[in-house]
A and B are shown apart, each in its own frame.
Chain A
Amino acid sequence: MARKEILKAESKNFNFHYADGTHALKDINIPLYEKKITALIGPSGCGKSTFLRSFNRMHDLYAGNKYDGEIILHPDDTNILDKKVDPIEVRMRISMVFQKPNPFPKSIYENVAYGLRVRGEHNKRLLDDKVEEALKGASLWNEVKDRLQDLAYNLSGGQQQRLCIARALATDPEIMLFDEPTSALDPIATVNIEELMSELKKKLTILIVTHNMQQAARISDYTAYMYLGEMIEFDETDTIFTKPSKKATEDYITGKFG
Chain B
Amino acid sequence: MSKIIGHEDNINAIRALIKKHKKNDRIFSYIGLFVIGSLAIALLVLFLDLVIDGYPKMNLEFFSNFPSRKPEGAGILSAWVGSALVLIVTFFVAVPMGVASGIYLEEYAKKGWFADLIEINVANLAGVPSIIYGLLALGLFVYEFGLGQSILTAGLTLSLLMLPIVIVATREAIRAIPVHIREAAYAVGATKWQVTLHHVLQYAMGGVLTGIIIGMARAIGETAPVITIGALTFIAFLPPTPVSDVAPFINFAWLEAGFTVLPIQMFNWISRPEHAFHINAAATGAVIIILTLLMNGIAIKLRYSIRKKIKW
The answer to whether A91 and B188 touch (CB under 8 A), given A98-B180, A102-B181, A104-B181, is yes
Nearest chain B CB to A40's CB is how many angstroms away? 18
CA distance A56 to B184 in the complex (A): 12
Chain B hits for A88, CB < 8 A: 189-191
Which of A91, A100, A153 contacts B187 (CB under 8 A)?
A: A91
The answer to whether A115 and B188 touch (CB under 8 A), given A63-B111, A104-B199, A151-B309, is yes
Question: Does B184 contact A61, Cβ atoms closer than 8 Å?
Answer: no
Question: Does B189 contact A171, Cβ atoms closer than 8 Å?
Answer: yes
Nearest chain A CB to B185's CB is how many angstroms away? 7
> Which residues in chain B, 155-204, are within 8 Å of chain A measured between CB atoms?
178, 180-191, 194, 198-199, 203
Nearest chain B CB to A157's CB is how many angstroms away? 13
Q: Does B312 sit within 8 A of A, measured CB to CB? A: yes
> Which residues in chain B, 62-103, are within 8 Å of chain A measured between CB atoms?
none
Q: Does B117 sit within 8 A of A, measured CB to CB? A: no
Q: Does B15 sit within 8 A of A, measured CB to CB? A: no
The answer to whether A61 and B183 touch (CB under 8 A), given A105-B310, A153-B311, is yes
Q: Does B272 sit within 8 A of A, measured CB to CB? A: no
Question: Does B188 contact A171, Cβ atoms closer than 8 Å?
Answer: yes
CA distance A104 to B188 in the complex (A): 12
Question: Does B187 contact A168, Cβ atoms closer than 8 Å?
Answer: yes
Chain A hits for B110, CB < 8 A: 63
Q: Does A234 sit within 8 A of B, measured CB to CB? A: no
The answer to whether A95 and B111 touch (CB under 8 A), given A100-B180, A105-B310, is no
The answer to whether A91 and B189 touch (CB under 8 A), given A105-B312, A151-B309, is yes
CA distance A167 to B203 in the complex (A): 19
CA distance A96 to B180 in the complex (A): 12
> Which residues in chain A, 71-92, are within 8 Å of chain B measured between CB atoms?
88, 91-92
Q: Does A227 sit within 8 A of B, measured CB to CB? A: no
Chain B hits for A9, CB < 8 A: none
CA distance A50 to B156 in the complex (A): 49
CA distance A105 to B200 in the complex (A): 11
Q: Does A109 sit within 8 A of B, measured CB to CB? A: no
Chain A residues packing against B (C-beta within 8 Å): 56, 58, 61, 63, 88, 91-92, 95-96, 98, 100, 102-105, 114-115, 117-119, 151, 153, 164, 167-168, 171
**Can you offer 6 A-B residue contacts whose CB atoms are under 8 A?**
A102-B178, A102-B312, A114-B188, A114-B198, A118-B191, A153-B311
